[in-house]
Structure 1
Amino acid sequence: MTPAFWRGVWWLPSTPETQSPGQLRVDADGTCRLEIVGSLNLGAVGQAADDATRPRGDRVPEIHGMSKGKPITLLDCFTTASDGFSASTRSYQDIHVQEALIGAHVARDEPAFAAAIVEIENLTSWLAHPNIIERSDDGEGQHATTSRPPDLSCVIDGWTITARGLAQPFRANHKHSRLVVEGEVSTYLVLAPPEPVAAREFHGLVHEISDLITLAAGEASDQISLTLIHREPTIMPERDGSTFEMDTQVESFGARIHTAMPEEASPMDWRLLFSCRDHTFQDLVVDWLRVRRRAPDACNVYFGLRYARPRYTETRLLLTAITAEALHKGLVDATALSDADIEQTRLARLRDEQREVAKKLGKTPTFRERAIGLAAKPDADAVRELIPDIEAWADRLKDARNNLAHTGNETTDDDIFYLEWVTSSLLALVLMAELGLSPETQRRAVRDILSPPR
């Protein structure tokens, strides 16, 4: 998006009678900044909201505003620049805004939103809707039709997640040299909690689903837009004097690590590791959310490497090794006792039985054992094609990780670019296996996409 501006008046919810002019600026990466002419006394509100012995400084949970008749709420705000030490002496004040909600006045923790509509990069390709575009040629000319894709839906933890499509009418663009006829099919997700929630409750789920599509696409796939649906509809007048209800839509803006590029070309279907053609939408989304929530730390590091990829191979290799260890802890948890172990502990009477249980309690896998354990999770043929010698790979990864972690240098003669590539590819295979994707899908992914470049 291009930078956007909302000029108007702004005030603190606790003192609506004290208003200051200014403008809200939203940059292309979603960063929000409120530029006030004069000052808002954020410090006084922050102090009043907390114990007097622990001042919070110029920070408030929300600021309200009005621009062109539209209500605006700014969440988690703090001063970044000003030209004075008190509100009465300042001529300007720049305020950082974590999230801007255009279209409603709400409190930070107010459960005001009944649903959200989100667009995510590469979502349309990943959904793999069949027969949404059909072409034919009757000899006289070519014909094309676009169809609205069917809704796909699933439920997890009371939240309903629905993928919906929209087929736009064909349009003709007249050029100096030719006539271009274009059609368009787009998709979006509707996230509906079991009951209204605060705006911030949607961000975690959007982030988790973005990670799923990023895994499938092999490239950063992040939020393009987020529109929240207020729990109270807007009453609109009809010409005959009657009224009707419309959803109250509230646009949400906020800074993100990756800036979405919706007009860029999406990967071709054969470049996706998997799609809804390989597994159902419901199974992929539900299973992914469960897997992601079992290993949040590992996934945060792994996908951080996708959204903000470091330039140095050493950094990528160290972070990939960290991901492998954390992923094994989250998914395998080899040190946990089974129900049978617990029962054995309770009923143990012999010294030998107690000794065996104590060994299980005290055993913590080494990094090398964790790496080998991860390699055992995906399809064996897919892993073998990617990493022919698992034992040697685990040794090299362990040595490289220890060297980088303890000395900051990688002193071996191994190709660490290759080592980082195959390790990262193995992690993708592990996540695919956890999603229940077939061995054939995993082997195709290795053969066509994940194998290191020659």
Structure 2
Amino acid sequence: MAEQCEVTLLVCDSLHSKRAIFPQDGSPDTQTVMAMMVIIGKHVSGEEGEAFAAAEVSVEDLNLWATSSSFGASFGISEDKIDGTGSILVKPVEVQAVTVDGAEYHLMHTNTWSPFDGRKGGTVASVRDTVFIRVCPAGPFALSDALKAARLIRDLIALATHRAAGVIWLRLEVAGTESVSPDGQPLPRRRANVLCNVLCSPAVLGSPAVLGKHDAKAVDLHHVFFTCEELPFEEIVPRWCKVYDRLQAAINMILGLRYAPALFVENNLLMAVGAAEVLHRSLGIDEKPFPEEEFTEMRDAMLDVVPEMHRGRLKEMIRNDPKLRDRLRALAARPDRDAIAQLVPDIDHWAGRTTQARNDLAHEGRTPKHSIDELIAIVEATTAVVILNVLHELGLPAERQRQIVREHPQLRAVCREACDPEPNS
């Protein structure tokens, strides 16, 4: 207990212990520990105890992505001139809700009013409109489930804004704390907070992350891939849950380039090309180079002429799988054709140079046939192709895909590089 509030420390490391000269029970007199996970408001035995009924999470730029606001304004005009009258209106926003696999997702607003602040030069009044998503599973759930929900929402906003998105706060409602007031009205459940500075830890949210800053300037709307205006909340959440579960490895790799890009282009090359390979496999669009029966006959014929001691090794090497070049071509064929044409005008050239760069680096440890500038261009183009594929899976309209390629600063830069497909080496 701390100030009459239950506190749970999880995943703790001891930093310093101070013992008496002759301790009677063997325990330290004082001990300093570092906790990777802190819950204020509830005692739990671990991450898997089903102690919570709902989770609420706020993520950077969620308000921009939601494209809804509590604020409105009006200005008085007389004879085509502002007459000095006007008002700032704070109005309730309708809750948007959707159910996915028994869990309810609510897009909600809350307003926080500040008292009038008298200054020597004037008076300031302010109100904050905070957007958050409330997740209510069908029954009690564990802390680990709440963290997964926070990661799901965080990564959706990170993809939509094409930048590292931080969790600002995570708030949990304790199951079994329902009550009513003396007049019979239901009262809110008791709440438990997860400390915000904990949420930037990979041990908590499962991948490199950033600490959410609620007062930082919002991202430019022109730098956003999509909002609830292009893909309404009721549509995008079910699609994202499905796509995220199926393509999570590839999405994690691409988001990793945004959260924690490597200092060396070679690392980013392996990450981007690896994401493309993983995405292609996860999509289940493999086309075998040979019919299975024909391949089996050819492989058996080759193995028959190989000494017995080498057959096992050779059999492992002969596979009826598409090559990296084939996978890249297949990925480029899925999103909108015009959007891809702006990014990689010559798909065969891009697929060939990318394959050669990855193979040279993986098998020889260097890329003598590629300049640093070309490797950077390959990383950016491959990353863009993977992102467009994920957006395509989410159902982003073709016109919006083309608009993103034309207007987003990073993708515009990829298009400029694509105008000169020749290597710079």
TM-score by length of 1: 0.74
Q: Within the alignment, does 1:441 sit opposite 2:405 as a pair?
A: no
Alpha-carbon distance between aligned partners in 1 of 2:28 and 2:192, rounded to the nearest angstrom: 32
**1:363 aligned onto 2:320:** yes
Q: Is the 8 A contact 1:132 1:149 kept in 2?
A: no
1:405 match: 362
Task: Give distance in 1, aligned partners of 2:360 and 2:339.
Answer: 29
The corresponding residue for 2:309 is none
State the 1:177 CA deviation. 3.8
1:298 paired with 2:298, answer no
Which digits, 9 at most, give the CA deviation of each residue in 1:275-298, with x for residues without a partner?
Answer: 110021121111111111112221
Deviations 1:70-91 (A, max 9, x none): 1112223343544679971634
Work out the number of aligned pairs and report it: 374
Q: 1:437, 1:196 → 2: CA distance?
A: 34
The 5 Å alignment of 1:126-165 reads 126-129=65-68, 132-138=71-77, 139-165=83-109
Cα contact 2:74–2:86 (8 A) shared by 1: yes
* C-alpha distance 69-381 of structure 1, shift in aligned 2 (>3 A): same
Deviations, residues 179-227 of structure 1 (Å, cap 9, x unaligned)? 4443432211111111001111111121122111111111111211111
Tell me how far 1:94 sits from its aligned partner.
3.3
Q: 1:168-317 maps to which residues of 2 (within 5 A)?
A: 168-169=112-113, 172-233=116-177, 245-253=187-195, 254-256=198-200, 257-317=209-269
**Distance (whole Å) between structure 2 residues aligned to residue 207 and residue 123 of structure 1:** 14
* 8 Å Cα contact 1:317/1:420 also seen in 2: yes
RCO greater where, 1 or 2, for CA within 8 Å and sep 6 or more?
2
2:44 is matched by which residue type in structure 1? V
1:74 to 2:9 alignment: yes
CA–CA distance in structure 1, aligned partners of residues 258 and 210 of structure 2: 9
Do the aligned partners of 2:70 and 2:92 also contact (CA within 8 Å) in 1?
no
Deviation at 1:110, TM superposition (A): 2.0
Query: In 2 relative to 1, CA 416–181 (structure 1 residues): closer, same or farther, beyond 3 Å?
Result: farther
Deviation at 1:381, TM superposition (A): 0.3
1:285 aligns to what SS in structure 2?
helix
2:150–2:170: 8 Å Cα contact kept in structure 1?
no
8 Å contact kept, 1:422–1:452: no
Q: What is the distance in 2 between the residues matched to 1:274 and 1:358? A: 49
Q: Is this contact kept in 2: 1:147–1:167, CA < 8 A?
A: no
> Could you tell me how far apart the structure 2 residues matched to 1:93 and 1:181 are?
46
- What SS is found at the alignment partner of 1:67? coil
Verify the 8 A CA contact 2:295 2:320 in the aligned structure 1.
no
Alpha-carbon separation, structure 1, partners of 2:287 and 2:16: 51
The answer to which of 370-379 and 408-417 deviates more is 408-417
Question: Structure 2 matches for 1:50-89, cutoff 5 A?
Answer: 66-82=1-17, 88=26
The aligned amino acid for 1:379 is D
Shift of 1:243: 9.6
Cα distance, 1:358–1:67 mapped onto 2, change above 3 Å: farther
Q: Alignment partner for residue 394 of structure 1, among 331, 336, 351?
A: 351
Task: Return 5+ residue gaps in structure 1 as ranges.
Answer: 1-65, 337-351
Cα pair distance change 1:146/1:363, threshold 3 Å: farther
Distance (whole Å) between structure 2 residues aligned to residue 185 and residue 358 of structure 1: 67
CA contact (8 A) 1:136 1:142 kept: yes
* Aligned residue number for residue 3 of structure 1: none
Query: Where is the strand percentage greater, Structure 1 or Structure 2?
Result: 1
Report if aligned partners of 2:100, 2:238 keep a CA contact under 8 Å in 1: yes
Task: Give the superposed CA RMSD.
Answer: 3.1
C-alpha displacement at 1:104, in angstroms? 1.4
Contact residue 103 and residue 251 of structure 1 kept, 8 A: yes
Return closer, same or farther for 1:165/1:358 CA change in 2, 3 Å cut-off: farther
Percent sequence identity is: 26
Task: Return the match for 1:102 from 31, 40, 48.
Answer: 40
Change (3 A) 1:92 1:362: same
Name the CA shift for 1:84/1:170 in 2 (closer, same or farther; >3 Å). Answer: closer
Alignment partner for residue 419 of structure 1, among 378, 382, 402? 378
Amino acid paired to 1:437: L
CA distance in 2, matches of 1:313, 1:71: 47
Q: Which residue of 2 aligns with 1:451?
A: 412
Are the aligned partners of 2:63 and 2:69 in contact in 1 as well (CA < 8 Å)? no
Query: Mind listing any 5+ residue stretches in structure 2 that lack a counterpart?
Result: 78-82, 201-208, 299-317, 417-425
Task: Give the number of the structure whose residues are more often helix, by fraction.
Answer: 2
Question: 2-side partners of 1:132 and 1:272: how far apart?
Answer: 22
